[in-house]
A and B are shown apart, each in its own frame.
Chain A
Amino acid sequence: MNTWVVGNVPIGHHNLDHPQPMFNKAKRFTELGTKTFFMRARIMAGQANLKGNKLGLTDFMWLASDEIKRAVSPTYWNGVRNMLPER
């Protein structure tokens, strides 16, 4: 999969507070939540391959924005919708 990350600047971010502060054993501090920064990348050739991935991903799809709306949870969609291009 030949990709290119567009710039060093993220296109948006999403804050998620944990319902209760979690203790992260690996890093040895209490986590209050997660901040996710979204980066834009373009695919130039190839296809996504989930073999041997370390993130525990099972399946993938290439979706247009209205299809993403249907597939993804409503709160996630609300946070992500304004980062996506018009068409």
Chain B
Amino acid sequence: MEWKRKIKERLTPARDIGVYAAYSREGWNDEVLVGAPESEPEHQIEAMLKDAEVKEAEPERAGEEGEEVQATEKKKEAVEKPMARVTDADIAGDMKSLNRNLTRTLHLVVKVETGGWKFPTSDLVGKESLHTVCLGSRILS
């Protein structure tokens, strides 16, 4: 029922082409114009959030009998908008921050005495295992 109501408004399941009816007279007009807001990822994220919001109000409707709840009593529980993917550290270019470049895996690289950059390395002393050396000298210091 929720789907039927949404599809009436949007006429299409896709969120990036605006209002498009495939079998109507305007079926030929299926391409998004250059620079249209629909193609922006922000617009699509907001459309998805809007759909998510109304979905949470749905179980409250079932309790009411014979009332038209559609426009009047919609308690929209706001869904949290996801945080931006580009953080302050990204813009500042702070190489030491772990908040930078959230989409990639960051590795720790250290500057050695000779001036080059390498992953932290240390020698094995005596009967140490590789596993314990990692936890001990280099990483915790």
Using CB atoms and an 8 Å cutoff, list the residues of chain A in contact with chain B.
1, 3, 5, 8, 10, 36-39, 41, 43, 47-65, 68, 71-73, 76, 80, 84-85, 87
Contact = CB atoms under 8 A, between A and B. Distances in A.
B105 A60 contact: no
Contacts of A50: 110, 141
B92 interface: no
Contacts of B139: 1, 3, 41
Contacts of A57: 110-113, 120
Contact of B109 (A3, A43, A72): A72
Contacts of A64: 101, 104-107
Contact of B118 (A41, A48, A72): A72
Contacts of A60: 96, 108-111
Interface stretch (B9-17, B35-43, B51-59, B129-137): B129-137
B98 interface: yes
B138 interface: yes
B95 interface: yes
A54 B141 contact: yes
B95 to A, nearest CB: 4
Contacts of A48: 96, 108, 110
List 4 A-B pairs, minimum CB-CB distance, nearest first: A64-B104, A53-B141, A59-B111, A62-B106
A55 B120 contact: yes
Given A39-B131, A39-B134, A61 B118 contact: no
B23 interface: no
Given A43-B98, A62-B95, A62-B109, 9 more contacts: A3-B140, A8-B129, A52-B141, A55-B121, A59-B111, A61-B108, A61-B117, A62-B100, A68-B107
Nearest to A47: B98
A80 B118 CA distance: 10
A73 B112 CA distance: 12
Given A62-B100, A62-B108, A55 B137 contact: yes
B130 A10 contact: yes
